[in-house]
Structure 1
Amino acid sequence: MSILFYTAVGLIAATFGSLVGLGGGIIIVPALVYLGPMFVGQTISVSTAVGTSLAVLIFTALSSTLTFVKQKRVDFKSGWLLFITCGPGAMLGSYTTQFVNAKSFQLSFGLFMLLMAILLVLRDYLKPLNVKWHIQRSYTDSSGNTYHYGYSILPALIIGLLVGFISGLFGIGGGSLFVPAMVLLFRYPPHVATATSMFVILLSSLMGSFTHFTLGEVNLWMVLGLAPSAIVGGWLGAKIASRLSSKKLLWVLRITFVIVSFKMIWEGLVLS
């Protein structure tokens, strides 16, 4: 039963996560915390769920990043810039997890997921800012369409730090903030934002996972159970992203976020 549970969670989380650049941890963490006792036979602490999730994200992000690299959609220059602060931020967030009690985490994580649902909805309706940033880039897709976007170093570093901290704290990879920020603030083409986000998630997950591991918050058996299907899901999500419209899947993800967020907010308020 536990093998089927790990396989399903890893595949679903990685596929959705890779498809929209989230990383998948936002599905893995609540799945381990709420469904773990039923399918694994043990209660999984919040810190262990976060640490384990971040470790699994390494495999998801590696699989999807390699696929995106073959599609020539990863902007390595901006990705390395974002990682300068995202990596240390992920380590700081990972270290902070041990000081957050379970009920406070439930409330905070629930509010965060609700914010992610709102951002995913607004992403379809908000127009990117018409700002001429200091560094200008361009991207030509397989259909021959050329997109122009740009960024400035200081705003990019600040966003990287904030996203990295949240990534390490909640074990979610950070793409749920990276992608909207890159699309709305810097006018990245969505496919480039998703691919570059996964590359940064790969790097920051390595650093965040190391911190969680040193704190004894990574269950290696769970990582081994989740990793194989996460690798497949990372590859599958990247393939789907290149061929199909993600609107319907995005709405499924939004609805899931809202349901789980309300559940976690309710329990965080009532049980605290």
Structure 2
Amino acid sequence: MQEIVLFIVGVAISAFGVTVGFGGGVFLVPVLMLFFGYNIEIAVGSSMAAMVPAALIGSFFNSRNHSIDYVVSTLIQLPAMAGTVLGAFLVAFLPVQELQMVFALFVIVVGIVMLLPHTQKKPPRHSGLMYQIRDIPTTFIRKNKTNHLAYRLNAGVVSVFGFLSGTIAGLFGIGGGFLQTPIMIKLFRIPAQVATSTSLFILVVTSFTGFISHFLIGNVLWSRSLPVVLSFAVGSLLGSLFKKENHPGYNMEKLIAIGLLLAGVGVLLNLMLKSNTGFSF
């Protein structure tokens, strides 16, 4: 019976995570520990293993829909890898738990603000930050093949953002998907469907790297990880089909806001669970 419940929960988390571009790992770890008796090492290893097929399946569908911006993903992913190394190094010098709590509360506040009704009209797409710095070198225009919406980007700014998101991920031991998606939408004015698809594509590399690391140190026990892996694969398929049939826009941004709230709560739960177990990841 527990395996059935775990499968259903995993499908729901994965479907939601793929839809909003977060992946779902930040939601899964505390759920596995609190409700299914996983210790934190195995919970993290199972989460990393589950994210690999979920990110691959989601990215396959997104690639067929031409909604992945490979240029943006490269500009974010490569600096993020360097930032992750720096963040892991800074763990020894900064009050990580206190900073993580502040960060989680900040994410929750951002989610609440995004959920609140806005009386003002939506600002025009050409009023974003990228259009204000259009004269700076390495600024260029991208155009999505699916909805033909154009958006302006600056390679330097996007790379700095990728480095910062990687640093936060390495410092706090969390994925950067729930940071990347809303910033791509709100700051860079990237269409919601492109932002969620690009964020999920970035997770292909990060989740595989994390899976290999945890597999080598023995945190992936297939007897406990396989049900989660299968559920995340099914959830990713369902989430990808849902995303394909629904036009991105207002509702997508509301889903992302809910995801931020859940992610913030998940970070707080991870923080409490890590402090109780003494395990850091």
Q: TM-score range by the shorter chain?
A: 0.7 to 0.9
* 1:6–1:269 Cα change, 3 Å: closer
Aligned residues: 258
Q: How is 1:13-52 mapped onto 2 (pairs within 5 angstroms)?
A: 13-37=13-37, 43-45=38-40, 47-52=41-46
Q: Secondary structure at the match of 1:246?
A: helix
2:48, 2:80 → 1: CA distance? 14
1:123, 1:212 → 2: CA distance? 35
What is the aligned partner in structure 2 of residue 222 from structure 1? 224
CA contact (8 A) 2:67 2:197 kept: yes
Q: Does 1:55 align with 2:49?
A: yes
* 1:255–1:85 Cα change, 3 Å: closer
Q: Secondary structure at the match of 1:68?
A: helix
2:59, 2:189 → 1: CA distance? 21
* 1:65–1:270 Cα change, 3 Å: closer
Q: How is 1:161-200 mapped onto 2 (pairs within 5 angstroms)?
A: 161-167=163-169, 172-200=174-202
Q: Does 1:203 align with 2:205?
A: yes
Equivalent of residue 151 in structure 1, options 143, 149, 154: 154
Further displaced range: 219-228 or 72-81? 219-228
What is the aligned partner in structure 2 of residue 79 from structure 1? 73
Equivalent of residue 116 in structure 1, options 107, 111, 123: 107
What are the Cα deviations for residues 23-50 of structure 1, in whole angstroms up to 9, with x where unaligned?
A: 101210110121122xxxxx412x4322
1:248, 1:135 → 2: CA distance? 29
What is the aligned partner in structure 2 of residue 11 from structure 1? 11
1:109, 1:5 → 2: CA distance? 30
CA contact (8 A) 2:139 2:152 kept: no
CA contact (8 A) 2:7 2:228 kept: yes
1:120, 1:205 → 2: CA distance? 24
2:166, 2:108 → 1: CA distance? 19
Further displaced range: 49-58 or 189-198? 49-58
What TM-score, normalized by structure 1, do the two folds share?
0.76
CA contact (8 A) 2:30 2:269 kept: no
CA contact (8 A) 1:86 1:163 kept: yes
Report deviation, 1:161. 3.0
CA contact (8 A) 2:59 2:200 kept: yes
Which blocks of at least 5 consecutive residues in structure 2 are unaligned? none
Taking only aligned residues, the RMSD between alpha carbons, in angstroms, comes to 3.6
Code of the aligned partner of 1:180:
P
Code of the aligned partner of 1:8:
I
1:35, 1:92 → 2: CA distance? 33
What are the Cα deviations for residues 44-92 of structure 1, in whole angstroms up to 9, with x where unaligned?
A: 12x4322321221111111111111111100112212322133455577
CA contact (8 A) 1:91 1:208 kept: no
Further displaced range: 50-59 or 69-78? 50-59
* 1:118–1:140 Cα change, 3 Å: farther
* 1:155–1:210 Cα change, 3 Å: farther
CA contact (8 A) 1:81 1:156 kept: yes
Report deviation, 1:3. 1.5
Report deviation, 1:164. 3.2
Asked which structure has the greater CA Rg, the reply is 2
Further displaced range: 75-84 or 12-21? 75-84
Code of the aligned partner of 1:25:
G
Report deviation, 1:189. 1.1
Equivalent of residue 246 in structure 1, options 227, 247, 252: 252
CA contact (8 A) 1:22 1:198 kept: yes
Identity among equivalent positions (%) equals 26
Code of the aligned partner of 1:72:
H
Q: Secondary structure at the match of 1:137?
A: strand
Report deviation, 1:181. 2.0
